[in-house]
C-alpha cells in the first residue's frame, strides 16, 4: 500500500475541563493527584515503590485465568513477572464492536508508555487493558457510531437481560442488523481479518462483555498487550480483601469523598463524579444484578462470604493498584479529573494514591477525505466551526456580479446614512441615536439578505454539500470529536497494520513526553 493510500493521523489537544488542565499542569492542590515522575530516575524510583508491595510473580499466578493471554502478550507478561516488572494499565467499559476510537488510543498509549518506560529505566513493563465487564451500563455498551458515505449512523442492539445486569452476563441476542451496518461501513475493505474477528465475537449466543473481551484480545494481543476480564472469578477473589476493607471504612470514605467534593467546588472546579448520599462505593450483586451497598448495611455486607462484590468508579483504580503492580493508569480527560476524588478514597483507606496520565488524542483523516477537502479548497479546521464551511461554499458559488451588487448596497447604505447623520447634525437636529439605530437595522437586513443569497447559492453546489456532509460524518460524527464517537475498526479494515503503525508512532511521541525522555 502506497504512502498516499494510507490514512494520515493528526495529533489533537487532549481536551477536558478546568480540573483536568489543573491536574496536568500541576496547579491543582498537591494532595489531589500523585505528581507525575519526570525523567528516568524519578520513574525508576516510582516503580521501585510500586514493586515493593509485590512478592515475585504471585500476583500474576492468581490472575492468569482472567488474563488468558496468548502469543506476544503472554510472552511479555511472563517476562515481566519473571523480572519483577511493572504494569501500565488502561481500561474501558464495553462498547459495541469495541466502542469509540479512544478505546484504541488509550491502548496504544499504554503500549508505547510501557515500551518507553522499559527502554529508559531497564525495568520490564507490560501494558494491560482492564476490560470493565463488571459494568452494568447497557445504554453505553449497546451502540457504536459508524460513517457510511455522507451519513453518520448510530447502530445498536436491544437489551436482552434484566436492567442492572453486568455486561459479562448480558446476552447479546440478535446482532445481525448492527453487524450488517458495520460491514457496510468497512466498504469492502481489503483487510478482512478485523471484520471476521468482529463477526466471530459478536454472535447471538455470546454476552456483551465476553464479545468485547474476545475482540480486544484479537486486536491487542499481537501488539503485546494482555486483556484482563474484570468480572472473572479470579479478579473478584483477589480484589475481595480491598472491597471488604472499603465496606469496613465506608462511612469514613463517604465523608472523605464529601469533603473532597466540597474542596473541588470551592476551588472553582466541578467534581467529575457525583456523590450519592447514604451509599458506599462497593457494589453487591445477586445473579449478576448490581446495586450499591447502603452505608447502613456495609458492615454486614463485608462479613457475608458468598456475596459478590465489585468496585465503584472511584474505588476501581485503588483495587487495580492493589492487585497489579501498576505504575500508571492511562486515562481520558474525564478519568484524569475524577482521580482528584480517587485520592480522597485512597487516603481514607490507607492505600497508595494511584498515578493517572493522559492518553494520546488524535484524528484519522482518510485519503478520500483529503481529496474532498482539496476539492472544497479547505483544511480540517475549516469544517470544525459551524456554518464556516457552508459560508465558504456559498461565497465560492455566488456569482461575482451578485457579490459586487451586495457590496455596493452595503457601501451605499453606509455612505447615505453617514451623510444623513452629518446633515442632521448641521441642521441642529438631536437625533444621532435614531440614525445609528436605523443604520444597524438596515445593515442587519442586508446581512440577512446576503445569508439567504449565499444559502441559495450553496444549494446549487450539490457535490460540494455532499462532500462536506461526508467529511463531517468522519471527522465530526454527531458534532463531536472523532475519537469520542466514531468506531475505528472500519479504518483498521481499510488500511490495516500501516495505519496502526502510524497511530502507534504518534502515541510513542506522547509516551516519550510523559516519561520526560531526552
Per DSSP, the three-state class of 279 is strand
Residue with cell 455486607: 301
The predicted structure's pLDDT at residue 404: 72
Q: Which of 274, 284, 279 is nearest to 251 (CA)?
A: 279
Can you state the angle between helices 193-201 and 489-515, rounded to 10 degrees?
100
Query: Using an 8 Å Cβ cutoff, are 468 and 393 in contact?
Result: yes
The predicted structure's pLDDT at residue 272: 92
CA distance 179 to 371: 29
CA distance 146 to 71: 30
The predicted structure's pLDDT at residue 387: 74
Query: Using an 8 Å Cβ cutoff, are 480 and 93 in contact?
Result: no
CA distance 5 to 25: 38
Q: Which three cell numbers stand for residue 64?
A: 492468569
The predicted structure's pLDDT at residue 394: 61
The predicted structure's pLDDT at residue 517: 63
CA distance 86 to 354: 13
The predicted structure's pLDDT at residue 87: 97
What's the 3-state SS for 5-69? HCCEEEECCCCCCHHHHHHHHCCCCCCCCCCCCCCHHHHHHHHHHHHCCCCCCHHHHHHHHHHCC
Query: Using an 8 Å Cβ cutoff, are 228 and 235 in contact?
Result: yes
Report the run of H or E that residue 311 belongs to, with start and end. Answer: strand 308-311
What's this model's pTM, rounded to 2 decimal places?
A: 0.87
pLDDT tens, position by position, for the chain (518 residues)? Answer: 555 588 999 999 999 999 999 999 999 998 999 999 999 999 999 999 999 989 878 899 999 999 999 999 999 999 999 888 999 999 999 999 999 999 999 999 999 999 999 999 999 999 999 999 999 999 999 999 999 887 889 999 999 888 889 999 999 999 999 999 999 999 878 888 999 999 999 999 999 999 999 999 999 999 999 999 999 999 999 999 999 999 999 999 999 999 999 999 999 999 999 988 899 999 999 888 999 999 999 988 778 877 899 999 999 999 999 999 999 999 999 999 999 999 999 999 999 999 999 999 999 999 999 999 998 888 899 888 877 777 776 666 566 776 777 778 888 888 888 888 888 888 777 677 888 888 888 878 877 876 776 666 655 567 777 888 889 889 999 889 999 999 999 999 999 999 999 999 999 999 999 999 65
CA distance 82 to 84: 6
Amino acid at each position: 500500500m502506497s504512502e498516499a493510500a494510507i490514512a494520515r493521523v493528526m495529533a489533537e489537544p487532549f481536551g477536558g475541563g478546568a480540573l483536568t488542565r489543573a491536574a496536568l499542569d500541576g496547579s491543582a492542590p498537591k494532595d489531589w493527584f500523585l505528581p507525575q515522575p519526570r525523567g528516568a530516575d524519578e520513574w525508576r524510583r516510582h516503580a521501585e515503590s510500586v514493586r515493593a508491595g509485590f512478592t515475585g510473580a504471585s500476583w500474576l499466578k492468581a490472575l492468569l485465568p482472567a488474563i488468558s493471554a496468548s502469543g506476544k502478550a503472554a510472552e511479555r507478561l511472563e517476562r515481566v513477572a519473571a523480572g519483577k516488572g511493572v504494569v501500565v494499565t488502561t481500561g474501558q467499559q464495553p462498547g459495541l464492536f469495541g466502542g469509540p476510537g479512544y478505546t484504541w488510543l488509550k491502548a496504544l498509549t499504554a503500549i508505547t508508555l510501557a515500551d518507553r518506560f522499559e527502554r529508559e529505566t531497564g525495568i520490564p513493563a507490560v501494558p494491560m487493558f482492564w476490560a470493565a465487564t463488571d459494568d452494568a451500563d447497557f445504554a453505553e455498551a449497546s451502540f457504536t457510531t459508524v460513517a457510511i458515505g455522507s451519513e453518520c449512523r448510530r447502530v445498536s442492539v436491544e437489551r436482552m437481560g434484566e436492567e442492572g445486569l453486568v455486561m459479562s452476563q448480558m446476552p447479546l441476542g440478535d446482532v445481525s442488523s448492527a453487524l450488517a451496518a458495520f460491514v457496510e461501513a468497512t466498504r469492502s475493505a481489503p483487510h478482512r481479518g478485523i471484520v471476521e474477528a468482529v463477526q466471530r465475537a459478536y454472535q447471538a449466543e455470546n454476552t456483551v462483555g465476553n464479545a468485547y473481551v474476545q475482540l480486544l484480545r484479537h486486536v491487542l494481543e499481537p501488539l503485546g498487550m494482555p486483556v484482563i476480564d474484570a468480572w472473572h472469578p479470579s479478579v473478584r477473589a483477589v480484589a475481595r480483601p480491598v472491597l471488604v476493607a472499603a465496606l469496613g471504612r465506608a462511612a469514613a470514605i463517604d465523608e472523605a469523598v464529601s469533603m473532597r467534593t466540597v474542596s473541588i467546588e470551592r476551588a472553582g472546579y466541578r467534581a467529575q463524579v457525583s456523590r450519592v448520599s447514604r451509599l458506599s462505593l462497593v457494589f453487591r450483586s445477586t445473579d449478576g444484578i448490581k446495586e450499591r451497598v447502603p452505608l447502613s448495611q456495609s458492615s454486614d455486607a463485608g462479613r457475608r462470604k458468598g456475596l459478590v462484590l465489585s468496585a465503584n468508579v472511584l474505588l476501581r483504580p485503588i483495587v487495580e493498584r492493589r492487585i497489579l503492580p501498576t505504575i500508571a493508569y492511562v486515562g481520558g480527560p474525564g478519568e484524569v479529573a475524577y482521580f482528584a476524588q480517587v485520592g480522597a478514597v485512597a487516603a481514607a483507606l490507607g492505600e497508595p494514591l494511584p498515578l493517572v496520565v493522559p492518553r494520546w488524542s488524535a484524528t484519522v483523516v482518510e485519503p478520500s477525505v483529503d481529496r474532498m477537502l482539496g476539492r472544497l479548497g479547505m483544511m480540517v479546521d475549516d469544517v470544525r466551526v459551524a456554518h464556516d464551511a457552508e459560508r465558504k461554499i456559498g461565497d465560492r458559488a455566488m456569482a461575482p456580479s451578485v457579490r459586487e451588487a451586495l457590496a455596493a448596497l452595503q457601501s451605499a447604505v453606509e455612505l447615505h446614512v453617514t451623510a444623513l447623520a452629518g446633515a442632521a447634525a448641521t441642521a441642529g437636529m438631536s437625533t444621532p441615536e435614531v440614525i445609528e439605530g436605523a443604520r444597524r437595522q438596515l445593515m442587519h437586513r442586508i446581512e440577512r439578505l446576503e445569508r439567504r443569497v449565499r444559502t441559495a447559492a450553496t444549494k446549487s453546489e450539490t457535490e460540494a454539500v455532499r462532500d462536506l456532509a461526508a467529511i463531517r460524518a468522519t471527522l465530526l460524527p454527531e458534532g463531536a470529536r472523532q475519537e469520542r464517537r466514531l468506531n475505528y475498526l472500519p479504518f483498521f479494515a481499510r488500511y490495516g497494520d500501516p495505519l496502526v503503525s502510524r497511530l502507534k508512532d504518534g502515541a510513542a511521541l506522547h509516551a516519550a513526553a510523559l516519561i520526560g525522555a531526552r
